[in-house]
Amino acid sequence: MSTWTNWAGTASADVTVVHPASIAELTRTVAGAAERGQRVKAIGAGHSFTDIGVTDGIQLRLDRLAGIVKADRGTGQVTVLAGTRLHALNEALWQLGLSMTNLGDIDVQTVSGAISTGTHGTGAKLGGIATQVRALELVLADGSLLRCSAGEHPDIFAAARVGLGAIGVIATVTLQCEPAYALAAAEAPGSLDEVLDELDDNLLGNDHFEFYWFPHTRRVLTKRNNRVLPGTDLRPVGRLRHWVDDDLLSNRLFDRINRLTTRRPALIPRANAIATRLLSARDYIDRSHRVFASVRTVRFREMEYAVPRASVPQVLAEIERYLADSGELIGFPVEVRFAAADDIWLSTAYGRESGYIAVHQYHRREHEPYFRAVEAIAMDVGGRPHWGKLHYRDAATLRTAYEHHDDFVALRDKLDPERMFGNEYLTRVLGG
């Protein structure tokens, strides 16, 4: 037995760890656990804030099931083993002349962990990572291996792409990639009012648009990432600038400031205002995956809500009102991203164009009152919580947020009647 803890320190479990080295060993492990009536759960990089990855039985670590097993440069379809980390995938794809269509803002997750909770980046015309999946091979609760895609077991495919680890253990993922591309990144400070006034233009005019709003100020940092023509020279961020902006300001100094403001929260509005002045505009061009990903060393807690895109200004205004009325002081920026509608049953963007509003709190400070208040605001506009980030919803209210919640539960009942893959989180969000 060993003790496992997630990245944020919000979930832990005493587990028996197994590292299968082949898909055959993976199926044997699951079948053996089924015979003994033991629970099993695959874990990725442990970067979910929720207890979604907890088990009281066998923890499957798929670090030996990593890498590309098949790649077709013509179609752009690439099959990878479930434990492949996104940073390794991105570099391997680049060597093949391929890239992912969209990615989130870190790259340490496993491909399976990322899709299972609906991990997404930003881009009003683009979906989350799971929308790039074309097929999955799953180890079911009886230890059998099943392939699903749009044409093979389509209902399982619709459920398992954002499957919360409840449908089966993913063994391989087939991704639709595209010719490798670079992105021109433009980061600039701006005003919240201006960004919201010009939101539609920003979304239509950029491949990937997002912004960070600094609470207790009316200032934002905008990020616009756009594809450049093949053959364009790369102009990566210089090493010094990278160290100053991405290491010193975004991590080391930010951590210092958070330690200080944890002791003296009254300094937060001034610290936020100074932070917005320290941020200066920068432009660079780099391989797409290097532009998408950043390094996060400051520990925090996070909740993120997907809301109808048109509700974003209202939700931000209500968060601002809540902070003013409650006197709560928040030192982390609110991150706002966007995604196109998709057709994956439990995708937070299912059936609607979405805006994502992510709130963060330093790990040494209390997050619950803030997160609960933001959750109530987001729920009023039909918000759906990110499955891998903190939230307080249960099956009763999530049923009303997802057209296919009942279908997902029925499929889980059929495929995992003994709850081999079950845990407290799944009982909470799916029912018993």
Ligand X SMILES: Cc1cc2nc3c(=O)[nH]c(=O)nc-3n(C[C@H](O)[C@H](O)[C@H](O)COP(=O)(O)OP(=O)(O)OC[C@H]3O[C@@H](n4cnc5c(N)ncnc54)[C@H](O)[C@@H]3O)c2cc1C
Task: Give the residues lining the site for ligand X (CB under 6 A).
Answer: 7-8, 41-48, 52-53, 62, 82, 104-106, 109-110, 112-114, 116-117, 119-120, 164-165, 169-170, 296, 386, 388
- Pick the closest to residue 103 from 114, 88, 116, 117 (CA basis): 114
Q: Give CA–CA dist 106/401, Å, rounded.
A: 27
Q: What is the largest CA-CA distance in the chain?
A: 61
**What's the min distance (Å) between Cβ of 147 and ligand X?**
14
Strands 77-81, 68-72: pairing kind: antiparallel
**What's the min distance (Å) between Cβ of 45 and ligand X?**
3
**What's the min distance (Å) between Cβ of 327 and ligand X?**
28
**Spacing of C-alpha 118 from chain mean position:** 6
Q: Which residue, 217 or 254, has its beta carbon nearer to ligand X?
A: 254
**What's the min distance (Å) between Cβ of 277 and ligand X?**
25
What is the number of other CB atoms lying within 10 angstroms of the CB of residue 350? 22
CA distances from 85 to 29, 89, 274, 314 (A): 22, 6, 36, 37
Q: Which residue, 45 or 373, has its beta carbon nearer to ligand X?
A: 45
Q: Give CA–CA dist 216/242, Å, rounded.
A: 27
Q: Which residue, 217 or 292, has its beta carbon nearer to ligand X?
A: 292
CA dihedral sign, ordered 358, 359, 362, 367: negative
Q: Which residue, 284 or 421, has its beta carbon nearer to ligand X?
A: 421
**What's the min distance (Å) between Cβ of 144 and ligand X?**
15
**What's the min distance (Å) between Cβ of 82 and ligand X?**
4
Q: Which residue, 141 or 184, has its beta carbon nearer to ligand X?
A: 141
Q: Which residue, 121 or 269, has its beta carbon nearer to ligand X?
A: 121
Residue 40 · residue 169 · CB < 8 Å:
yes
